[in-house]
Amino acid sequence: MMESYSEKKPALSIVIPVHNGGESFRKSLISISKWRADAEVIIVADGESDGSWKLVEEYGFKLILLPECGGPARARNIGARAASADLLFFTDADVEIHPVTVPRIIYAFQESSELTALIGSYDDSPGAENFLSQYKNLFHHYTHQTSSEAASTFWGACGAIRKDVFLSLGGFTESYQKPCIEDIELGYRLRQAGHQITLCKHVQVKHLKRWTPFTLLRAEVFYRALPWIALLLKIRQDQPQQYQRFASDLNLQWSSRLSVVLIAGLCLSILFSMQWPFLIGTAVLSALLLLTLNWSVYRFFYRKRGFWFALGVVPWHWLYYFYSGLAFIIGVGRHNLTRRRSARQMSPT
């Protein structure tokens, strides 16, 4: 481990897990090195094989080398335990931190002694220039900028939390060995314990990740939607009084759920319209309702990137609702199957 900090206790510790970070990681380190906030930086190299950790030597940040990859949840926990500040800021190796980001986080906690954790937002100028990356990261920006400031989830790409509370709850759940929903799950435990999480929309970072159709669908379905649904269903089973609060946060708002229903109606109408032509009208009506319901989203993209970009967003946005609905059906099926198996095992023979 390397260290180049004075004995003065920093106001904040930045914890960054990295696994084969590449050029994005270099840009992330450069963004941090350009300013000198009252913070220490801890890099946790999680089973590195491309030598990205060697970049840390150029900047004198703290470095923890892990011999085997155990996932970002474990890496963040290890970094948090090594932090010397009372306030932790988690971010990713493919994120650039703006000069005002850390000062705004520190100020937010100084202003409110009741604030336990906060999350920020991606900015509106993603690093990767291809269409899918611009769409995905801008949609993430839109979701946070239009959501309630009273949050129910934490966010590992731009999230700060008091160290004592983080450690008292056991940190991130390390059973999530991929970049998954370990941050969402932590947020639910924070709220269940009575702590406050605030969405600070002016605390922003830049996402550098380049998305492709394969990486987007893999992450959205297998690393996010399916485990998130499993988590919500477990909460509904074990703590039904908490379920309604969590089921209406961020991407789970009523408009999104209604859009999933409309997508199902659109797909089924098109599928059966060859046998029953009158269903074309139902398909057209579903499409118009989808456009109307999500008009603010498309207007946002129009303002940011113009007409043709906004038009290109529509099929990808509708695909998002399609695989979200499909993941929900699969998730509910898995949950019910698991419950039946458990019930059979517990029943007397």
Q: Burial of 230 by CB count in 10 Å (0-12 exposed, 13-18 middle, 19+ buried)?
A: middle
Residues 335 and 261 in one domain: yes
Residue 233 has a pLDDT of: 85
DSSP 83-129: --SSEEEEE-TTEEEPTTHHHHHHHHHHH-TTEEEEEEEE-SS-S--
Is 204 contained in some domain? yes
Select from 182, 211, 240 the last residue of a domain.
211
Is 117 contained in some domain? yes
Is 260 contained in some domain? yes
pLDDT along the chain (349 residues), means of 10: 57 94 92 83 88 84 92 96 96 95 95 94 96 96 93 94 97 91 94 93 96 95 91 76 52 79 92 88 94 96 97 96 92 82 66
Give the CATH number of the domain where residue 70 resides: 3.90.550.10
Structural domain boundaries, residue 286: 250-346
Residues 281 and 197 in one domain: no
C-alpha–C-alpha distance, residues 288 and 283, integer Å: 9
C-alpha–C-alpha distance, residues 161 and 197, integer Å: 9
Select from 196, 211, 226 the last residue of a domain.
211
| Single-letter residue type at 248 | S
Number of domains forming the structure of the chain: 2
DSSP summary character for residue 44: E
Select from 161, 188, 211 the last residue of a domain.
211
Q: By C-alpha distance, which of 249, 217, 218 is closest to 320? A: 217
Q: By C-alpha distance, which of 99, 106, 120, 97 is closest to 16? A: 97
C-alpha–C-alpha distance, residues 29 and 41, integer Å: 10
Q: How many CA atoms lie within 13 A of 6 on its CB side?
A: 7
C-alpha–C-alpha distance, residues 46 and 76, integer Å: 10
Name the one residue in this structure whose structure tokens are 């000069």: 99
Is 27 contained in some domain? yes
| Single-letter residue type at 288 | L
pTM of the model: 0.89
Is 311 contained in some domain? yes
Is 328 contained in some domain? yes
Residues 207 and 264 in one domain: no
Residues 33 and 150 in one domain: yes
Residues 195 and 269 in one domain: no
Residue 105 has a pLDDT of: 96
Is 229 contained in some domain? no
Residues 126 and 198 in one domain: yes
Find the angle CA(298)-CA(300)-CA(305) to the nearest 5 degrees. 95
Residues 200 and 292 in one domain: no
DSSP summary character for residue 156: T
CA distances from residue 93 to 19, 178, 305 in whole angstroms, order as listed: 8, 14, 26
Residues 20 and 128 in one domain: yes
Residues 52 and 172 in one domain: yes
Residues 169 and 275 in one domain: no
Residues 201 and 296 in one domain: no
Residues 26 and 149 in one domain: yes
Residue 243 has a pLDDT of: 46
Q: Burial of 289 by CB count in 10 Å (0-12 exposed, 13-18 middle, 19+ buried)?
A: middle
Is 6 contained in some domain? no
